[in-house]
Amino acid sequence: MEILKLINIYKKFYSGKYDKEFEKYNELVIMNFEKYKETHVSPKANRNKLIEKESTKKSKNMSKNEISIINKLRSLKNKISLRENSDLIILDDLFPHPLSAFRLQEFNSYLNYFKKTKIYTRPLSFPAIKEKRSLESIIKDYEKKYPRFKGKVKKFYPRKILIGKIAYMIFLNNTYSYIDILEKYKIPFLFTLYPGGGFQLYQEVSNKKLKRIFSSPCFRKVITTQKITYDYLIDNNFCQPNDVVKIFGIVTPLNLLNKEFEDKEFYGRGRKNLNICFVAHRYSEKGVDKGYDIFIKVAQLLAKKYDNIYFFVVGNFDENIIDVKSIKHRIKFYGSREHEWFEKFYKDKDIILSPNIPFNLMEGSFDGFPTGSCTEASLHQVAIFCTDELGLNTKFSKDEIVIIPHNVKEIVKIIEKYYHDPIKLEKIARKGCKKVKEIYSYKNQIEPRINILKELIRDH
């Protein structure tokens, strides 16, 4: 009498907010549906037969009210669909959170191009960014901002039956977490192996996940964004060169790429203060992996020597992470911000300092080059001063970016050089912006990804 129990649950909660209860009803049908799905020619017809069977076989013993409720359940069956037949399925653990601007741009681009696209997501990465809101509220806010994609993003449930021609994921941990269900429903997949997200060089746990993914019969292609990633996969025989698509960098919001910030204010052009910023998300106690400790030491030394250099921090940092009393009147903290906020912020910033270091947060972990924060700042004509301890730079020349060592005194010397030559600093910022627009253009980032997906969908 399980169906009657579910009806009683539904009665108690019948107030228009029925999703959870109806999901339980759905799961009952799914258990039966899975037993027969391989042997029926028409899955849709079979699904409807099972719904009919489960909801009516005891109807002789039901009251009129109970039958009425069953009919309401039937009318709601599309609210939580049993199967979504899609060309492209995207599986994620953070989308559509607004703090991940590159995800928003990349996934929205796919939603625009591939009309039969569904995104299934779960909030597994919310704790990493200290997000306390529910996934449902994040999706609701997303649909308000992008009403054309309403209904395209759904919370992922383990019992969700997936039907699609190709699946796409990003990051190692996220991809690994979906392998079993992709194999269960025999869905081929492509993924982007960005730095971070569980990917660690020469670490057993990371290697086991890589081996599991690349040994899957559903694996088709992997996108690498850094030379070190490609070399690591090939040198360690995780996959073959023809399995890899190399696309340097990260997807960047198109509104930034296409915009000209004509009201940009440069140091030395009527403004006497040199403004240096640090923008990152803190994953460790003091943000050492992002170089926050180095940034503060550099700020303290420069503040002692010059009274017109100021410092600005964006991210989940504050004055208590590292003692900044000696420069409390020269440094300002803004907390975490969404990417739309940065247009006004970067208007009068001259340098983004990123002294990040690999293998600190976890053994074998590293950031992409340059970081997403650096590329976004560069699009606002802010000069990038960053480390490159692993030699990842294959695109920028020395007049487009300033490579710094992970050494406080040396960084101070380099900044002083540009402090005394604001014209050269402005040239770095302008040329860097031009190069970033080229590297991270739609043509060089999104278009090749779409072409890969089109090919895989066509070959399905």
Per residue in 371-382, pLDDT (tens digit) is: 999 999 999 999
What phi and psi, each to the nearest 5 degrees, are found at residue 407? Answer: -145, 120
Count the domains in the chain: 3
The whole domain housing 150 covers: 83-251+445-459
Average pLDDT over residues 261-280: 93
427 and 401 share one domain:
yes
pLDDT value, residue 460: 79
Nearest to 26 by CA among 72, 79, 70, 82: 82
451 and 309 share one domain:
no
The DSSP code sequence of 24-89 is HHHHHHHHHHHHHGGG-S-HHHHHHHHHHHHHHTTGGGS-HHHHHHHHHHHHTTTTS-SEEEEEEE
Cα–Cα distance for residue pair 406/366, rounded to 1 Å: 14
Domain end, chosen from 15, 45, 75, is at 75
- The rounded percent of the chain whose pLDDT value lies above 90 is 72
pTM for this prediction: 0.77
92 band by pLDDT with thresholds 50, 70 and 90: very high
63 and 115 share one domain:
no
101 and 172 share one domain:
yes
84-93, 193-202, 243-252, range with the lowest pLDDT: 84-93
151 and 230 share one domain:
yes
Looking at per-residue confidence, does 334 or 68 come out higher? 334
Provide the β-strand partners of residue 199: 196
Per residue in 341-352, pLDDT (tens digit) is: 999 999 999 999
pLDDT value, residue 27: 56
Per residue in 271-286, pLDDT (tens digit) is: 999 999 999 999 899 9
209 and 302 share one domain:
no
pLDDT value, residue 7: 44
Judged against a pLDDT cut of 50, whether residue 140 lies above it is answered with: yes
Looking at per-residue confidence, does 189 or 30 come out higher? 189
Domain end, chosen from 75, 101, 118, is at 75
pLDDT value, residue 167: 97
238 and 274 share one domain:
no
CA dist 147 to 139, 142, 152, 153, 450, Å? Answer: 11, 8, 10, 11, 22
* Terminal alpha carbon distance of the chain: 42
117 and 216 share one domain:
yes
189 and 116 share one domain:
yes
324 and 455 share one domain:
no
pLDDT value, residue 193: 98
pLDDT value, residue 340: 85
151 and 232 share one domain:
yes
242 and 302 share one domain:
no
pLDDT value, residue 211: 98
Cα–Cα distance for residue pair 380/33, rounded to 1 Å: 54
Report the CATH number at residue 217: 3.40.50.2000
24-33, 199-208, 279-288, range with the lowest pLDDT: 24-33
- Average pLDDT value for the chain: 87
Per residue in 217-241, pLDDT (tens digit) is: 999 999 999 999 999 999 999 999 9
Judged against a pLDDT cut of 80, whether residue 67 lies above it is answered with: no
Domain end, chosen from 27, 56, 75, is at 75
Judged against a pLDDT cut of 50, whether residue 37 lies above it is answered with: no
Looking at per-residue confidence, does 44 or 367 come out higher? 367
DSSP type of residue 424: H
pLDDT value, residue 129: 84
- The rounded percent of the chain whose pLDDT value lies above 70 is 82
The tokens for 426 are 């402005």
